[in-house]
Amino acid sequence: MDMTPGEKIGNLRIGAYIDAYYGYDFGSPEDGNIPYFASMNRHNEATINLAFVDVRYQSERIRGRFVPGFGTFINANNQSEPGSLKNILEGSVGFRPFAKKDIWIDFGVLGSPYTNESAVSRDHLMYTRSFAPEYVPYYLAGGKVTLPLSGKLTAYLYLLNGWQQIQDQNEGKSLGTQLEFRPNGKNLFNWNTYIGDERSELNPDNRIRYFTDIYWIYNDGKKWSFTSSAYIGLQETVQNRPTSEGIWWQGNFIARYTFTELLSVSGRVEYFWDPSRIQIVPVTPAEKFRTFSSGLALNVSPATNLMFRFEGRYFLSQDAVFFDAQQNPTDSKLWMISNVTFSF
Give me the DSSP letters along 237-259. Answer: ESS--SSGGGEEEEEEEEEEEES
Q: Is residue 122 part of a domain?
A: yes
Q: How confident is the model at residue 228 (pLDDT cuts 50, 70, 90)?
A: very high
| Distance in angstroms (rounded) separating the CA atoms of residues 29 and 311 | 19
**Has residue 337 been placed in a domain?**
yes
Q: Which domain holds residue 127?
A: 7-343
Average pLDDT of the chain is 95
Structural domains counted in the chain = 1
Residue 1: inside a domain: no
Do residues 237 and 209 make contact, with C-beta atoms less than 8 angstroms apart? no
Whole-prediction pTM value? Answer: 0.94
- Tens digits of per-residue pLDDT, 109-151? 999 999 999 999 998 999 999 999 999 999 999 999 999 999 9
Q: Is residue 260 part of a domain?
A: yes
pLDDT level of residue 8 (50, 70, 90 thresholds): confident
Size of the chain in residues: 344
Which CATH number goes with the domain that contains 134? 2.40.160.10
32 domain residue, yes or no: yes
2 occurs within a structural domain: no
Instruction: Evaluate if residue 295 carries a pLDDT over 80.
Output: yes
Asked if the structure places residue 206 within a domain, the reply is yes
pLDDT (tens digit, 9 = 90+) per residue, 27-85?
Answer: 999 999 999 999 999 999 999 999 999 999 999 999 999 999 999 999 999 999 999 99
